[in-house]
Amino acid sequence: MAPMDGRTDLSAGQSDGHFPDFSTFAATSGCTRDGNAREGYCENSHIGTVSSLESIKRLSGCFSMPNKYGLPRDIPDPVKRQIRQRSKFGCVICRAGIYEYEHIDPEYGDAESHDPDRICCLCTACHAKVTRGHFSKDYVRKKYKEVESSNKLDVPPPFDDLDFHDGKAELKIGGISYDPGVANVVTYHGNAIFSICPSSGSDTAGINAVFLDDEGDQTLRISDNIWYGALDAWDTEVIGRRIKVRKKKGALALVLRLEPPGKIVIEKLDMRVSDAHILASERSYAVGRYINNSKVNWFHANIVHMGAPLPGASAIEFLTYFEAEWRDQKWNGRGKRLATADGMIAMQTGLGVAHKPMGVVVGANCLKFGMASFACGLLELKAMRRVVFRQPDRVAEFIGKGAR
Ligand SMILES: [Zn+2]
């Protein structure tokens, strides 16, 4: 059904009982980011056809028509951020991490502005209780004030469930591929920072992790298959299946993508753990040990796959020079071994790939691993960050050039 003079021919559509393809209707109705700003836009995909005028009316809610005061439905991003910050990144009543921005009083239909004093984060369940009259607006206002003015000890962090129902668990980091038996993804001096456990017996599968930012402050944690945001984060935002934590405007400290059931992909990680640093994008990574606050020794081993894990196997392990040396001696002679002339970097069945002076082992306690390349070098954090996040395929090459 072709639009006539730039408009959809609704009457023609009615006559044969079929309206035009809804996408055509959308394209001619200002339902676009490029349309009149007062019309707002719709991010829903428009599929199929609409078969009655009633359906058009029902669906027209997604065209973000302004209310009677001309106020568009969409709240500007900076105002949304203020509301998130003031609601401490969760439903102000039950603290659920998945929520909507709700005009409390007046409701959107009667609102003349998107005033952050009068809009808070509410989950759909709590919102339904308000609209059905089970919760009063006074109660919501009181909870909003309480959450906003409370310190971290008085208000629970935002949280939500993760789906590990089918017994599998996988945490994808830096393009590293490993067997499900590699239970420790990142270990720092014996403490598992990220760990995964597929189900065994009556234990359910899951991931435990503590994510930090580039100054070592917590951004998010996962514990017993529930994620918890950090109350003092600058911003935590859930968009679709992604959870994004920002340290400040434009500075993402963490981006997780949920791929249920059982899989979480780290799309961006910029994390300092004491004297160690991990930069990881979905496709690559670099691990570092600090020389001083700006110079860092970096290491990257392009591990194709690590398998046949022994108990205590780790994808990335930070330890001391002496521990790495001890491990090398323990495994030496028990399988294939390759090492640099000075013996400081060694690859060995069971050992993994060890950079002994840096106290880093990749693929520790795995009897099998395939490695394409490795590189190490002294570089500034800022420069390394640029490569890992913008040119993930050139991490090894870049670290190699910086080596001296
Ligand atoms: Zn709620």
pLDDT per residue as tens digits for the range 12-46: 333 333 333 333 333 333 333 333 333 333 333 33
**Two tokens, residue 107:** 């409701």
Q: How far is the CA of 44 from the centre of ligand 1 (A)?
A: 24
Residues 239 and 348 in one domain: yes
Kindly report the three-state secondary structure assignment for every residue of 313-356. EEEEEECCHHHHHHHHHHHCCCCCEEECCCCCEEEECCCEEEEC
Residues 262, 120 share a domain: no
Examine the domain organization and report whether 217 and 141 are in the same domain: no
Q: Could you tell me the distance, in angstroms and rounded to a whole number, from the CA of residue 94 to the centre of ligand 1?
A: 4
69: in domain: no
Name residue, tokens 């990144």: 89
User: Is residue 46 in some structural domain?
Assistant: yes
User: pLDDT per residue over 195-240, tens digit each?
Assistant: 998 777 777 888 999 999 999 999 999 998 999 999 989 999 999 9
Q: How far does residue 208's CA lie from ligand 1's centre (Å)?
A: 24
CA of 215 to the centre of ligand 1 (A): 32
Distance 259 CA to ligand 1 centre (A): 24
Q: Cα–Cα distance between 319 and 86 in angstroms, integer?
A: 40
Residue that has been written with the tokens 């944690």 in this structure? 221
Does residue 11 carry a pLDDT above 80? no
> Does the pLDDT of residue 153 top 90, yes or no?
no
User: 174, 175, 171: which is closest to 220 by C-alpha?
Assistant: 171
Confidence band of 119 (pLDDT split at 50, 70, 90) = very high
Q: Measured in angstroms, how far is the CA atom of residue 390 from the centroid of ligand 1?
A: 38
* Per-residue pLDDT, 294: 76
Residue 54 has pLDDT above 70, yes or no: no
Same-domain check for residues 265 and 178: yes
pLDDT value, residue 205: 84
Q: Are residues 184 and 236 in the same domain?
A: yes
Pairing mode, if any, of strands 218-223 and 352-355? unpaired
Cα distance between residue 3 and residue 375, in whole Å:
60
Structural domains of the chain, count: 3
| Ligand 1 center–CA 96 separation, angstroms | 5
404 neighbors 298 (Cβ within 8 angstroms)? no
- 190 alpha carbon – ligand 1 mean position (Å): 38
Ligand 1 centroid – CA 104 distance (Å): 14
pLDDT of 147 above 60:
yes
Residue 126 CA to ligand 1 centre (angstroms): 4
Shared-domain flag, residues 133 and 222: no
Average pLDDT, integer, range 125-142: 96
Largest Cα span, the chain: 85
Return the pLDDT at 245: 98
Indicate whether 189 belongs to any domain.
yes
pLDDT of residue 46: 35
Has residue 246 been placed in a domain?
Answer: yes
DSSP 1-56: ---BTTB--HHHHHHTT-PPBHHHHHHTTT-STTS-GGG----S---SB--SHHHH
Q: Are residues 364 and 219 in the same domain?
A: yes
User: What is the domain extent for residue 233?
Assistant: 170-402
Residues 217, 302 within the same domain: yes
Residue 266 pLDDT > 80, yes or no? yes
What's the 281 CA to ligand 1 centre distance in angstroms? 32
In the reported structure, the alpha carbon of residue 117 is separated from the centroid of ligand 1 by a whole-number distance in angstroms of 18
List, in sequence order, every residue forming a beta bridge with 280; answer none if it has no partner. 269, 285
Would you state the structure tokens that stand for residue 224, as one six-digit string?
């017993």
Residue 63: the pLDDT is 54
pLDDT value of position 244: 98
324 CA to centre of ligand 1 in angstroms: 49
**333: in domain:** yes
pLDDT of 241 reads 97
* Cβ–Cβ < 8 Å for 102, 125: no
d(CA 396, ligand 1 centre) in Å: 46
Alpha helices, DSSP H, located in 135-187:
137-149
Q: Give the per-residue pLDDT at 214.
A: 95
Residue 271 covered by a domain: yes
**What mean pLDDT, rounded, does the chain reach?**
84
| Least confident interval from 124-128, 202-206, 233-237, 250-254 | 202-206
Beta bridge mates, 345: 355
Dist. CA 20–CA 218, nearest whole Å: 51
pLDDT score for 204: 80
What's the angle, vertex CA 314, arms to CA 311 and CA 317, rounded to 5? 130
Looking at 124, 156, 188, the residue that finishes a domain is 156
Distance 151 CA to ligand 1 centre (A): 20
- Centre of ligand 1 from the C-alpha of residue 91, in Å: 5
Residues 272 and 385 reside in one and the same domain: yes
Q: Tell me, yes or no, whether 200 and 344 share the same domain.
A: yes
pLDDT of residue 250: 87
Q: Is this model's pTM higher than 0.85 or not?
A: no
pLDDT at 180 exceeding the cut of 90: no
Task: Give whole-number Cα distances, 338 to 78, 309, 341, 347, 348, in Å.
Answer: 54, 19, 10, 5, 6
Does residue 2 sit within a domain?
no
**Ligand 1: distance of its center to the CA of 242 in Å?**
20
Give Cα separations from 309 to 146, 169, 182, 186 (angstroms).
49, 16, 6, 14
Q: Buried b vs exposed e over 117-146: b needs ≥16 C-beta within 10 Å?
A: ebbbbbbeebbebbeeeebeeeebbebbee
Judgement on whether residues 101 and 191 belong to the same structural domain of the protein: no
- Quote the ligand 1 centre to 95 CA distance (angstroms): 6
Distance from residue 92's CA to the centre of ligand 1 (Å): 7
CA 99 / ligand 1 centre spacing (Å) = 7
Same domain flag for 19 and 141: no
Rounded distance between C-alpha atoms, residue 76 and residue 102, angstroms: 13
| Residue 170, SS3 per DSSP | strand
Distance 57 CA to ligand 1 centre (A): 29
Q: Assess whether pLDDT exceeds 90 at residue 92.
A: yes
- Asked if residue 90 belongs to a domain, the reply is yes
Token reading at 403 = 């080596």
Mean pLDDT of all residues in 61-81: 86
Range name among 94-98, 152-156, 347-351 with the lowest pLDDT average: 152-156
| 274-330 pLDDT per residue, tens | 999 999 999 999 999 999 887 899 999 998 899 999 998 999 999 999 999 999 999
Taking the centre of ligand 1 as the mean of its atom positions, its distance from the CA of residue 97, in whole angstroms, is 9
Contacts of 301 (CB under 8 A, 6+ apart): 353, 362, 363, 371, 373, 374
Helix axes 124-131, 137-149, angle to 10 degrees: 140
Mean pLDDT of 251-272: 96
Of 48-52, 91-95, 270-274, 308-312, minimum mean pLDDT range: 48-52
Tell how far the Cα of 100 is from the centroid of ligand 1, in angstroms.
Answer: 10
- From the CA of 226, how far away is ligand 1's center (Å)? 16
Q: What is the predicted pLDDT for the residue at 279?
A: 98
Of all residues in the chain, what percent carry a pLDDT higher than 70? 83
Quote the pLDDT of residue 402: 55
Distance 128 CA to ligand 1 centre (A): 9
261 CA → ligand 1 middle, Å: 24
- CA gap 275, 283 in Å, rounded: 24
